[in-house]
């Protein structure tokens, strides 16, 4: 299969594609050594053709394809769309319009959480894909015939998966579930990382306000440096190094030499000079200007009996509705809602809350209980001990 390397050929294909109800889309990219993904190939299929687009071709202008992504009358079907869409947001500044993610639809149709594309192909079309080309160098040219066949298979079988999943979502009347999940993918905030918020993705426990202030500044500095130099965050500084710097806050080159996580000689680098400057700013902060620490929770442990009961409820609800338990709530979600009735977790939002979250809060506050029967676990109202329907 030939690559599209000409702007005229691409424009002609996009004109044909716009006449259909949907197109399937996938990408191949590299990201191991960069912050931003490097787009190497775009695969697109309509009902009657499939093409490979070469974004590395020097004479190719992708404008016609970007217009296709922005066409509100055409559904753009992806599988596990987040990284693909991130690429297009970086290139165009916009999220593709009218998107559908088969991984999301599959998750609400009983295929499990984060089901892979090849598993879906196997389940729905009975085809076994050859995935041996997945980790090849997609930036090298020419592409092998095996790479091309692999790439085009990622959008041709997706057509059949999309049609089947639409039928299943219709049959189960779960479009509101799908729409809730697609809302995250449709928001540009999902793909734009603000350096000032970079510290939120770090999982390290900090107990003192000044340490937290240092971590916030260090994480923002690393994020900007990674973006500006197009390097992975870990190549700028690893997470454990950020943590040690936030705790120890070295203010001289010699102080850097006493840190275990920092390479020898780092204290005299330009990066260390920038870090020392921002750490001096942290040391100069008045107590009133330091970030507030979250209040310590003094209620029941999320790993105790209440959490265990909610986990039993989760398994019961998941079995009853034919979905994977992890789709409804993660273990972290359950810990959070045990600690806080208003926790900012998916389990307490949208369709998940209707299905599971409200019942979980009822368990927490003793409004309902659980009873094991031959039919499975049933809920009952505590006031009269009558099993709930």
Per-residue pLDDT tens for 221-265? 999 999 999 999 999 999 999 999 999 999 999 999 899 989 889
* Average pLDDT over every residue of 37-54: 97
Cα–Cα distance between 30 and 117 in angstroms, integer? 19
pLDDT at 365: 92
d(CA 223, CA 225): 5
State the span(s) of the chain assigned CATH 1.10.150.80: 195-289, 305-387
Q: Are 27 and 41 in contact (CB under 8 A)?
A: yes
- Model pLDDT, residue 373: 80
**CATH number of the domain located at residue range(s) 305-387 in this protein:** 1.10.150.80
Share of the chain above pLDDT 70, in %: 96
Region 3-190: CATH code = 3.30.420.10
298 phi, psi to nearest 5 deg: -120, 15
For domain 195-289, give the CATH number: 1.10.150.80
User: What six digits make up the tokens of 243?
Assistant: 């943590």
* DSSP one-letter code for 48: S
Question: What is the reported pTM?
Answer: 0.88
Return d(Cα 153, Cα 47) in angstroms, integer. Answer: 14
Q: Which helix (H) or strand (E) holds 22?
A: strand 22-30
So what's the pLDDT on residue 379?
75
Residue 143: count other Cβ atoms within 10 Å of its Cβ.
Answer: 22
Q: Tally Cβ neighbours within 10 Å of residue 186.
A: 15
Long-range contacts of 305-308 (CB under 8 A, 24+ apart): 306/338, 306/363, 306/364, 307/334, 307/335, 307/338
In angstroms and rounded to an integer, the radius of gyration of the C-alpha atoms of the chain is 25
């Amino acid at each position: 299969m030939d690559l599209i390397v000409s702007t005229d050929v691409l424009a002609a294909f996009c004109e044909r594609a716009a006449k259909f109800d949907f197109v399937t889309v996938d990408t191949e990219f590299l990201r191991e050594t960069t912050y931003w993904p490097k787009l190497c190939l775009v695969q697109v299929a309509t009902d009657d053709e499939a093409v490979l687009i070469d974004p590395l071709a020097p004479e190719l202008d992708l404008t016609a394809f970007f217009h296709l992504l922005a066409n509100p009358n055409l559904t753009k079907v992806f599988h596990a769309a987040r990284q693909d869409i991130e690429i297009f947001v970086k290139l165009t500044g916009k999220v593709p319009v009218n998107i559908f993610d088969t991984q999301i639809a599959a998750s609400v149709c009983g295929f499990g959480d984060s089901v892979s594309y090849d598993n879906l192909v196997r389940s729905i079309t009975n085809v076994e894909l050859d995935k041996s080309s997945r980790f090849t160098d997609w930036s090298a040219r020419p592409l092998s015939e095996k790479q091309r066949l692999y790439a085009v298979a990622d959008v041709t079988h997706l057509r059949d998966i999309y049609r089947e999943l639409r039928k299943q979502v219709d049959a189960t009347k779960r479009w509101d579930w799908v729409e809730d999940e697609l809302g995250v993918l449709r928001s540009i905030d999902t793909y734009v990382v603000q350096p000032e918020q970079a510290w939120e993705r770090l999982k390290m426990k900090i107990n003192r306000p000044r340490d937290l202030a240092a971590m916030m500044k260090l994480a923002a500095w690393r994020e900007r440096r990674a973006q500006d130099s197009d390097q992975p965050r870990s190549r700028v500084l690893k997470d454990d190094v950020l943590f040690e710097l936030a705790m120890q806050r070295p203010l001289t080159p010699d102080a850097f030499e006493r840190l275990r996580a920092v390479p020898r000689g780092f204290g005299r680098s330009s990066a260390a000079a920038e870090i020392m400057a921002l750490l001096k700013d942290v040391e100069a902060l008045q107590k009133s200007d330091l970030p507030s620490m979250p209040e310590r929770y003094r209620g029941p442990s999320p790993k105790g009996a209440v959490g265990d009961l909610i986990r039993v409820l989760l398994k019961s609800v998941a079995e009853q509705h034919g979905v994977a338990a992890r789709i409804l709530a993660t273990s972290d979600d359950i810990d959070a809602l045990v600690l806080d009735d208003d926790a900012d977790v998916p389990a307490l939002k949208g369709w998940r809350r209707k299905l599971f979250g409200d019942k979980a809060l009822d368990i927490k506050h003793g409004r309902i209980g659980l009873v094991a029967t031959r039919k499975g676990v049933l809920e009952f109202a505590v006031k009269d001990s009558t099993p709930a329907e």
